[in-house]
């Protein structure tokens, strides 16, 4: 991350390898062999601490490259594990928050990503007998931290900020502290390679990018994996930069970007359609029309803050060769028109039972 000058990144969104989750033992121990020794000596807490020391360097670098008022959003899960007959919780989120605060980050309310499982063997321990059973971990965290106080917006920024607004009804879902992402945007279809890579859902990073950055901002992912963050940046007209330890991820990143190139305009059209269905629903329920009108689209919106909102349409997305040997993609955007909501028809759009404004999308690729 030394390539990135101080104070030039607007948002960091990432998901690190999760300490004490077995799939990450080996890659973390490759960087620091003391981790393997601690595990084989049965010293869980020492292994946990050494694993976090590796991540600590990334949080310090994130602090350095972020601008004042820039956000760091970290998706991480805690781990439960038995090491040398001792079963216990390793609280990754607590360790990361306390370290980030020691670096100078301010903590803001975090989000719980609920990943409910119906697996019959999900309960651990002594079954129906007290007191040796443990609650099942069915959530991960999205930690939200900020460097310094609120971001300052220049006059030019203020225009870009209003264009980067999101819909009122999106705000109501996104700014809840409990996200249930089952049945939401699945543009990057889960497949075996994606799940082995521990990729996070596009919807998760799509929300964070909209909540904490503006169009044209620079978003960094220090643990890029399959490139979900970069793809979400293409979808939302943000610049992005990412780092990945394993070169083997390059074909997966290419695939993620190629998929986004095909489906981005369909996903934008879907957002517009979801808003139109909200408008219609509101009218049917209340007999009233929303009080403001979108300048770009002419449809009603709930608040003044949404009047200048303008979603980005993707004109082109191309891979360009980078001298350093890294991957580089160049995207061109232009404002998405309302007609895109009737074109680019996704294959299936199914309202969820519990919330008709969250849509399940799937695309024929």
Ligand X SMILES: C[S@@+](CC[C@H](N)C(=O)[O-])C[C@H]1O[C@@H](n2cnc3c(N)ncnc32)[C@H](O)[C@@H]1O
Tokens in use for 278?
A: 């909200």
**Distance separating alpha carbons of residues 88 and 20, to the nearest angstrom:** 11
Distances (CA, A) of 350 to 203, 330, 359: 16, 33, 6
CA-CA distance, 221 to 61, in Å (whole number)? 12
Tokens standing for residue 165: 């607004």
**Does 363 engage in binding with ligand X (CB under 6 A)?**
no
Q: Under 8 Å CB-to-CB from 251, ≥6 apart: which residues?
A: none
Instruction: For residue 245, state whether it binds ligand X (rule: CB under 6 A).
Output: yes
**Binders in 183-212 for ligand X, by CB under 6 A:** 197-200
Distance CA 359, CA 69 (A): 32
DSSP label at residue 297: T
Closer residue to ligand X (CB): 110 or 276? 110
Residue 251 as a binder of ligand X (CB under 6 A): the answer is no
**Nearest Cα to 279, choosing from 300, 309, 310, 308?**
300
C-alpha distance from residue 252 to each of 32, 137, 319, 333 (Å): 26, 29, 14, 23
Q: Per-residue string for binding with ligand X, 21-40, x by CB under 6 A?
A: ---x--xx--x---------
Quick check: 140 binds ligand X (CB under 6 A)? no
Work out which of 62, 92, 210, 228 binds ligand X, going by CB under 6 A: 228
CB of 27 to ligand X, least distance (A): 3
Q: Per CB under 6 A, which region of 20-28, 103-111, 125-133, 150-158 contacts ligand X? A: 20-28
Q: How far is the CB of 169 from ligand X (least distance, A)?
A: 26
223 counts as binding ligand X under rule CB under 6 A: yes
Question: Among residues 54, 80, 136, 239, which is the contact residue for ligand X, using CB under 6 A?
Answer: 54
State the residues that interact with ligand X by CB under 6 A: 15-17, 24, 27-28, 31, 54, 197-200, 223, 225-226, 228, 244-246, 249
């Amino acid at each position: 991350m030394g390539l990135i000058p101080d104070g030039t990144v607007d948002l960091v969104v990432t998901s690190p390898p999760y300490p004490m989750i077995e799939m990450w033992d080996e890659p973390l121990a490759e960087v620091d062999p003391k981790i393997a020794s601690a595990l084989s000596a049965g010293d869980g807490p020492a292994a946990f601490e050494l694993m976090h020391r590796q991540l600590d360097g990334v949080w310090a670098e994130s602090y350095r490259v972020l601008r004042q008022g820039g956000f760091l959003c970290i998706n991480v899960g805690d781990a439960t594990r038995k090491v040398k007959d001792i079963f216990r919780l390793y609280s990754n989120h607590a360790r990361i928050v306390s370290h980030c605060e020691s670096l100078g980050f301010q903590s803001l309310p975090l989000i719980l990503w609920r990943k409910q499982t119906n697996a019959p063997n999900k309960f651990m321990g002594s079954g129906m007998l007290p007191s040796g059973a443990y609650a099942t971990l069915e959530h991960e965290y999205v930690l939200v931290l900020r460097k310094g106080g609120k971001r300052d917006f220049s006059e030019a920024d203020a225009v870009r900020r209003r264009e980067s607004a999101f819909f009122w009804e999106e705000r109501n879902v996104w700014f809840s502290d409990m996200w249930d992402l089952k049945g939401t945007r699945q543009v990057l279809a889960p497949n075996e390679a994606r799940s082995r890579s521990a990729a996070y859902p596009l919807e998760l990073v799509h929300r964070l990018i909209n909540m904490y950055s503006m169009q044209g901002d620079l978003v960094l992912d220090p643990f890029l994996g399959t490139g979900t963050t970069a793809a979400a940046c293409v979808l939302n007209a943000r610049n992005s930069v990412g780092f990945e330890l394993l070169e083997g991820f390059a074909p997966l990143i290419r695939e993620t970007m190629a998929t986004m190139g095909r489906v981005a305009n369909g996903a934008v059209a879907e957002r517009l359609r979801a808003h139109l269905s909200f408008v219609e629903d509101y009218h049917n329920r209340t007999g009233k029309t929303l009080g403001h009108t979108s300048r770009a689209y002419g449809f009603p919106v709930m608040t003044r803050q949404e009047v200048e909102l303008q979603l980005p349409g993707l004109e082109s997305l191309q891979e360009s060769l980078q001298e350093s040997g890294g991957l580089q993609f160049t995207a061109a955007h232009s404002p998405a028109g309302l007609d895109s909501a009737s074109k680019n028809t996704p294959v299936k759009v199914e309202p969820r039972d519990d919330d008709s404004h969250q849509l399940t999308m799937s695309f024929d690729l």
